[in-house]
Amino acid sequence: MKMTCAQIAELVGGTLSGDGAVEITGLEELVLAGAGDLTFIGDETHAKKWADSGASAALVNHGLDVEAGERVVIGVADVDLAMAKVLERFAPPVMQVEAGVHGSAVVDASAKIGAGVGIGAGCVIGPGVVIGDGAQLHANVVVMNGSAIGAGCVLWPGVVVRERCVVGEGSVLHAGVVLGADGFGYRPSPDGRGIVKIPQIGHVEIGSGVEIGANTCVDCGKFSATVIGDGCKIDNLVQIGHNVRIGRCVVIAGKTGVAGSTIIEDGVTIGGGCNIADHLMIGRGATLAGGSQLMNSIPAGEIWAGSPAQNHRVALKEHVAIRNLPEVMKKVRKYLKDLD
């Protein structure tokens, strides 16, 4: 793939400084880029590294002091969105499953398979399953009894969709995703000598345009459904507990765990490695910083952080106070010594 800098500037609606005829053959981060590479600069810290980069051209946020010199600079309003457009052009074709059913797949006679569906090697499609037009099921996907996969969905190798689950149109489940495993429900036995498993009879409902990362698990509801709304983006290695309800366009980064029956409203952002207790409410548009341990509900629009998590302003003040504690203790010791 090759594009000239002029073509890239036109694609991203950017302002071109330098020779528009320079050809770009690859994309790379600033410190690793070489001749023929396009890189990107989004802040002052990276702008200072431009002089030492081997890149032929850079996408740069407007307002940053980055001179083209003998190279090319393309000024843009949002460097991340601009780079996304260029990445789409340079991306290799996505691996496709040939339409039809692979000879090693097992498809129950009662399943309804839409037009143009590709079912790869080793897949198992259970009774009463419905798969919408154009869906792609890569190798070793299992879709169990009564589940429905929407049109245009992509299920990568090893995905397991348990009984009665629903996946909305255009959603993507990456390798190893499990939908509808039993929720974690147990109680001590009456005799105090064992643990009683609480039956989990619900299912999972995934909206349209959802993307779920590799090896993420979404447990079925105890009674009704665990729900993930339209447009959500969930990273790898995330655990969603039973009867959690997630609104639209929520972003959850990797290694986060959400305990049962918590409600996460529209537009929430959750950083990586968070632990979220059960039966909480995270309000519309709230943000939970990475590594937080959430034990209380978050009002709409607020930013929380820390362990235990609290409003980030309070958390920052406490962090500063803790960092200053050695110096404070030194002064206290001196004061006590002076008293003696």
Q: Summarize pLDDT for 278-325 with one digit per residue, the tens.
A: 999 999 999 999 999 999 999 999 999 999 999 999 988 888 888 999
Query: Regarding predicted confidence, which is higher, 223 or 240?
Result: 240
The candidate with the shortest Cα–Cα distance to 170, out of 220, 129, 130, 206, is: 206
Question: Quick check: is 102 catalytic?
Answer: no
Given 138, 174, 203, 242, which residue is catalytic?
242
Residue 340 has pLDDT above 90, yes or no: no
Beta carbons of 302 and 285 less than 8 angstroms apart: no
According to DSSP, residue 25 is labeled: -
Q: Which pLDDT tens digit goes with each residue over 10-63?
A: 999 999 999 999 999 999 999 999 999 999 999 999 999 999 999 999 999 999
Longest dimension (CA), the chain: 91
Per-residue confidence (pLDDT) for residue 118, from 0 to 100: 98
Instruction: Give the pLDDT band of residue 217 (cuts 50, 70, 90).
Output: very high
- Whole-prediction pTM: 0.89
Amino acid at 309: A
User: Domains in the chain, please, with CATH?
Assistant: 3-90 (3.40.1390.10), 100-312 (2.160.10.10)
The candidate with the shortest Cα–Cα distance to 38, out of 77, 69, 9, is: 9
